[in-house]
Amino acid sequence: MSSTTDRHPRLLPSLAPLLEKPPGAGDEALEAHALLNDAIAARATDVHLDPVQAAYRIRLRIDGRVIDAMRMDAAGGLRVVNQFKVLSGLNPVPSRMSAEGGFSWQGDVDEEVFLRVTAVNCVAGEKLAIRFLTSPHSFRDTLDLGIGEQAAQGIRRWMDATGGMLLVAGPTGAGKTTTLYTLLNQLRLSDSHVVTLEDPVEYEIPGINQIQVDGHSGLDFVTGTRSVLRLDPDYVLVGEVRSPASAQACLNVASSGRSLMGTLHSRDAVGVVSSLRHLELTDAEISANLGMVIAQRLVRRLCEQCRSQGAPASEDIEWLEAIGLPIPERVWLAKGCPHCNDLGYQGRIGVFEVWQLTPDDHARILRHADEAILRRALLERGEVLMLSDGLAKAEAGITTLREVLRMGAILSH
């Protein structure tokens, strides 16, 4: 669980006054609805109601970070918890393990949202985690994701050709799915046939054949790809490649002249080769089929209303010195204003490295080259790696050095 220091009561302007007053008759889910409206206005993706000694605290996940928003007394906390349990069809009596429910809701916003509610019994009381399930955001083009023009051109060329594998790499929560959906958006759906294999299909996309992988009915990843090939697709999009069986299934699609797109857990672009080796693909199979890797992380975007410039913090200086980079005199800093709820940041942007494999790279993989050799080849031909992309975005005032440092710390592990 992330640690939080600051409390931001301003994030909950409509809930706060309700908790001051005794509960009245009328809307039976008054506080829950106020909380949801506030959370949506703050662009939260998750709401946590956590029991703490004789009280409850509300925390919101905004731009990937958990923010402590408010503390409620036990009575107020239990009232809100029970309202959510009624709304989501959960048993009011706390279960011994955990329980999951959900409901759809239309508040002060135009769009209906679906919420998944998980109740877990903790030592201090019952905890609720509420997640907004909205359709994955997709952008008009790859430039909007934060991918540079040259790399974007490479991706377009890959997509215009057919056959081979494109993998989006990164840890959980790095924005891989958004990137995949954005690529999907770019395919001309009228003159190409796209099939997806998903587990589960959460959002329906018009014009695309989506197949749900379901282990219980016998349609697993492997049998699924077999059925998919009979549908004669041009592009096959899968979720995460995570087992030797799914890696093999992807290979079957890619080697049959179709284009395969999927995601993979990996530290960086060249790390994909190691991951595929771990998933029992041979060097020959990887070399013959891997066409492009997009590796990414997400950093928070500086609020453009209040970002400012100043001297770098000592932590930033130490880090830059440690990795042998020059120390700038002035850097962009996060400040905070009403526009960004005092967070200093608003929204996120991707930091990328796009690796288009060359014949030389394929030859290196065939010779069982390790990550260090593959990375050196990328650097020698002047490719932009994630750290450089992040530093360029910090210099341009899109994000801060601190955000890139957090990402760099992950990269150096």
340 binds Zn ion (CB under 5 A): yes
Hey, which residues between 282 and 311 contact Zn ion (CB under 5 A)?
303, 305-306
CA distance 211 to 347: 31
Regarding beta strands 194-198 and 65-73, do their DSSP bridges make them parallel or antiparallel, or are they unpaired?
unpaired
Name which of 72 and 306 has its Cβ closer to Zn ion.
306
Q: 112, exposed or middle or buried, with CB in 10 Å at 0-12, 13-18, 19+?
A: exposed
Name which of 288 and 337 has its Cβ closer to Zn ion.
337
List b or e across 393-403, with b for residues whose CB sees 16 or more CB atoms inside 10 angstroms. bbeebbbbbbb
CB of 407 to Zn ion, least distance (A): 21
CB of 70 to Zn ion, least distance (A): 20
Total binding residues toward Zn ion, as defined by CB under 5 A: 6
Q: Which stretch binds Zn ion (CB under 5 A): 86-94, 164-172, 242-250, 334-342?
A: 334-342
How many Cβ atoms are within 10 Å of 218's Cβ, its own excluded?
8
Q: Which amino acid is at 9?
A: P
CB of 213 to Zn ion, least distance (A): 42
CA distance 142 to 158: 13
Residue 411 DSSP label: H
Name which of 278 and 339 has its Cβ closer to Zn ion.
339
The binder of Zn ion chosen from 30, 113, 317, 337 (CB under 5 A):
337
Ranges of beta strands (E only) in 53-112 are 55-62, 65-73, 98-105
Q: Which stretch binds Zn ion (CB under 5 A): 34-42, 224-232, 329-337, 352-360?
A: 329-337
CB of 124 to Zn ion, least distance (A): 34
130 binds Zn ion (CB under 5 A): no
Name which of 305 and 412 has its Cβ closer to Zn ion.
305
Q: In the bound complex, which residue of the shown chain has the CB atom lying closest to Zn ion?
A: 303
Name which of 85 and 348 has its Cβ closer to Zn ion.
348
Kindly report the backbone phi and psi dihedral angles of residue 87, in degrees, each rounded to the nearest multiple of 5, phi listed first. Answer: -60, -35
Beta partners for residue 404, in sequence order? none
CB of 303 to Zn ion, least distance (A): 3
CB neighbour list of residue 407: distance below 8 Å, 6 or more residues apart? 297, 299, 351, 386, 387, 390
| Rounded alpha-carbon distances, angstroms, from residue 392 to 52, 162, 217 | 42, 33, 49
Residue 276 DSSP label: H
Kindly report the backbone phi and psi dihedral angles of residue 295, in degrees, each rounded to the nearest multiple of 5, phi listed first. Answer: -100, 145
Name which of 154 and 344 has its Cβ closer to Zn ion.
344
339 binds Zn ion (CB under 5 A): yes
Q: Which stretch binds Zn ion (CB under 5 A): 172-180, 197-205, 331-339, 349-357?
A: 331-339
Regarding beta strands 44-52 and 65-73, do their DSSP bridges make them parallel or antiparallel, or are they unpaired?
unpaired
CB of 340 to Zn ion, least distance (A): 3
CA distance 47 to 58: 7
Name which of 306 and 407 has its Cβ closer to Zn ion.
306
CB of 305 to Zn ion, least distance (A): 4
Q: Which stretch binds Zn ion (CB under 5 A): 321-329, 333-341, 351-359, 405-413?
A: 333-341
Kindly report the backbone phi and psi dihedral angles of residue 112, in degrees, each rounded to the nearest multiple of 5, phi listed first. Answer: -75, 135
Name which of 148 and 397 has its Cβ closer to Zn ion.
397
Hey, which residues between 227 and 286 contact Zn ion (CB under 5 A)?
none
Name which of 157 and 339 has its Cβ closer to Zn ion.
339
CB of 397 to Zn ion, least distance (A): 13
CB of 344 to Zn ion, least distance (A): 6
Element (H, E) at 125: strand 125-133
CB of 332 to Zn ion, least distance (A): 13
Regarding beta strands 113-122 and 125-133, do their DSSP bridges make them parallel or antiparallel, or are they unpaired?
antiparallel
Overall residue count recorded for the chain in this entry: 413
Name which of 285 and 403 has its Cβ closer to Zn ion.
403
User: 263, 168 in Cβ contact below 8 A?
Assistant: yes
Q: Which stretch binds Zn ion (CB under 5 A): 196-204, 205-213, 332-340, 383-391?
A: 332-340
Q: Which residues bind Zn ion (CB under 5 A)?
A: 303, 305-306, 337, 339-340
